[in-house]
Amino acid sequence: MAFFMQALDATILNTALPSIARSLDRSPLAMQSAIISYTLTVAMLIPVSGWLADRFGTRRIFIFAVTLFSAGSLSCALSGSLSMLVISRIIQGVGGAMMMPVARLALLRAYPRSELLPVLNFVTMPGLVGPVVGPLLGGWLVTYATWHWIFLINIPIGIAGIIYARRYMPDFTAPTRRFDMLGFLLFGLSLVCMSSGMELFGERVLPIIYAWSLLLGGIILLFVYIVHARRHPQPLIDLPLFKTRTFSIGIVGNVASRLGTGCVPFLMPLMLQVGFGYSAVIAGWMMAPTAIGSIIAKSTVTRVLRWFGYRKTLVGVTMIIGVMIAQFSLQSPGMSLWILVLPLFVLGMVMSTQFTSMNTITLGDLTDKTASSGNSVLAVTQQLSLSFGVAISAAVLRFYESLSLGDIVDHFHYTFITMGAITFVSAGIFLLLRKKDGDGLIKGRKAQLRKKGQL
């Protein structure tokens, strides 16, 4: 339920951004603050979710998180200005910071590592329905109703999630350590400064010196946190986590490769509506092939990893993703929309394979003792990289606008080429994996199937 609600919320908002912008009398290209405010809040508060779940139990924190997310959705629907919408999205983000990490932490503690790949693969399947329904429902509601309904539909889903959690979710607890408040402030402020700096690069509402200052300040605060964590007996995030080689490579790979994949849900609906002049309904329909491809790929990812291993799979699919993002520059308003369907479908398949592979190789070698911290770091990385993907793509789009090279469609094309090149180069990070890395995850699954007579 949490996967579905978050995926639905993210994709439905992207499709409705132009309509919300017109209603609030703002530029569609300036609406990324409604996305970044959510992802930034989630990234900043995720480390707290692990500590809260350890102390109060996974079920109790999960129910609280879903309740807060639903309340934030109601507030978003009642917003009459961009400022109010951003504040409401922050409330949603506080709930979202705890929903998915706590749910995944419960899975890490309920299943052995040898079952991690099929379990994570299975539980994300319902969440992939969100990207299919979201754009379609968002386009329909924006065209035939009002944009407020894209947030109101979260409320019945949230209520259903609470009922199911009370009935079925395990309530794991663990010995808690003293909360590192200074570490939380240093780490959280560093994320705020870096993401805010990236957003200013995209909006260009202030002199560029402010963007550079915030970005540099965030990096300095992050280094200060590292110094603090080395001296603190129980830091917010344990630095020894990064001595696990596969974990470190997985985290860096997540940051770099998701810059490109994070820009597609933001740029594509905008290009179709602002650049090509299509309605929100058509823009919503055109995002469905990506989600359908993601769902189909979930049934093949284990087989692909068994054939090629984690190293070859991650390098190969990341390079393919870079090429697929760049080729969107070949699309033009005069072309048939069906020409977009196949590339979006293929992109969904390779993105799904990449995400599952990255998540399992990152978490696979962690122990039960480090599972909570490692899961929090992964969740922070995923949310922050998505925020950076939106901010960087918006900044690149603004940059090409300032050069006045062609029309608005050309600016979108140049942006897709740039983000595709960044993604293609990021594949080199996964070359640091060894050939046999992740074999334990695959062999563990093969042994289970063989024991059951299924292989």
Could you tell me the pTM of the whole model? 0.77
Q: Are residues 27 and 112 in the same domain?
A: yes
Residues of the chain with pLDDT under 70: 10-11, 14, 29-30, 126-132, 135, 176, 199, 201-206, 284, 368, 443-455
175 domain residue, yes or no: no
277 domain residue, yes or no: yes
Q: Are residues 148 and 20 in the same domain?
A: yes
Q: Are residues 129 and 195 in the same domain?
A: no
Q: Is the distance from CB of 253 to CB of 314 less than 8 angstroms?
A: yes
Q: Is the distance from CB of 110 to CB of 170 less than 8 angstroms?
A: yes
Q: Are residues 207 and 343 in the same domain?
A: no
Q: Are residues 193 and 44 in the same domain?
A: no
pLDDT confidence of residue 455? 44
Q: Are residues 252 and 361 in the same domain?
A: yes
Indicate the residue among 188, 207, 235 that finishes a domain: 235
DSSP string, 200-246: HHHH--S-HHHHHHHHHHHHHHHHHHHHHHHH-SS-SS-GGGGGSHH
25 domain residue, yes or no: yes
Q: Are residues 246 and 140 in the same domain?
A: yes
CATH of the domain at 348: 1.20.1250.20
pLDDT confidence of residue 433? 92
In 79-96, which positions are buried (b, 16+ CB within 10 angstroms) versus exposed (e)?
Answer: beebeebbebbbbbbbbb
pLDDT confidence of residue 448? 52
CA distance linking residue 373 with residue 48, whole number of Å: 10
pLDDT confidence of residue 188? 83
pLDDT confidence of residue 360? 87
- Residue matched to tokens 């944009």: 147
Q: Are residues 23 and 79 in the same domain?
A: yes
Indicate the residue among 235, 262, 282 that finishes a domain: 235
Q: Are residues 350 and 391 in the same domain?
A: yes
Q: What is the tally of structural domains in the chain? A: 2
Domain limits for position 194:
180-235
Indicate the residue among 235, 255, 271 that finishes a domain: 235
Q: Are residues 240 and 204 in the same domain?
A: no
Percent of the chain with pLDDT over 70: 91
Q: Are residues 242 and 271 in the same domain?
A: yes
27 domain residue, yes or no: yes
Note the maximum CA span of the chain.
Answer: 65
328 domain residue, yes or no: yes
Q: Are residues 423 and 325 in the same domain?
A: yes
